[in-house]
Chains A and B, each alone.
Chain A
Amino acid sequence: DAMVIQNPRYQVTQFGKPVTLSCSQTLNHNVMYWYQQKSSQAPKLLFHYYDKDFNNEADTPDNFQSRRPNTSFCFLDIRSPGLGDAAMYLCATSRSPGLATDTQYFGPGTRLTVL
């Protein structure tokens, strides 16, 4: 089945140690998103790629970076994780950012623990 895949599902890292989360999609969608979701909170959009164009949210810390080497893959890099970065990270895709009839399809998420 076409889907959004996130690896790993659970990631443990140490304070300050760089970590990379991975997302891949078989939907051939143009747009890929990264969200941070803390416990009992709404998902918070960090950034998105429309094809190769990177769009950062104004309040996303510089500690968070992203790469999209091709249509299928998108990575979230956390350069120096702090305790406050422990969260569920959700990847999502959509065909187009502008179509009112489109919606986002989410992966299962990666739960990040920072020790």
Chain B
Amino acid sequence: GEDVEQSLFLSVREGDSSVINCTYTDSSSTYLYWYKQEPGAGLQLLTYIFSNMDMKQDQRLTVLLNKKDKHLSLRIADTQTGDSAIYFCAEGQGAQKLVFGQGTRLTINP
């Protein structure tokens, strides 16, 4: 079945870049998503990438997709304390059947 894997924790210094990695198994996924969840809150869509793209940039966020290796990454430039959250990778063929990873907890050190 479909599976999405992420490392559980990442700690970076304020101002550095954060890179959160994700691997997935379903090669038929059309879109891959990154969601952010702040403490006590729901999931907020950060960005997504279509499966025929290699890269997408949106302000401080850069998404890289290696379809051959089924590897997705999210890079956050100039990481700030407000970026502290859990980041979920998700794959799907549209909105209906999203499969989420376990989430990576990003901690920012001063």
Contacts and interface: CB of A to CB of B under 8 A. Distances in A.
Contact of A43 (B41, B43, B96): B43
Interface residues of B, number: 25
Interface in A80-115: 90, 92, 94-109, 111
Given A40-B103, A43-B43, A104 B88 contact: no
B53 interface: no
B109 to A, nearest CB: 21
Interface residues of A, number: 29
Contacts of A9: 40
A109 B41 contact: yes
A42 B103 contact: yes
B43 A42 contact: no
Nearest to B4: A42
A11 B90 CA distance: 28
B45 A108 contact: no
A40 B40 contact: no
Contact of B95 (A4, A41, A104): A104
Nearest to A107: B42
Contacts of B94: 96-102
B95 A102 contact: yes
Nearest to B94: A100
Contacts of B77: none
Contact of B8 (A31, A40, A98, A101): A40
Given A42-B4, A90-B42, A109-B41, A104 B103 contact: no
Interface of A: 4, 6, 9, 31, 40-43, 45, 48, 90, 92, 94-109, 111
7 contacts: A6-B42, A40-B8, A94-B95, A97-B97, A100-B31, A103-B48, A104-B98
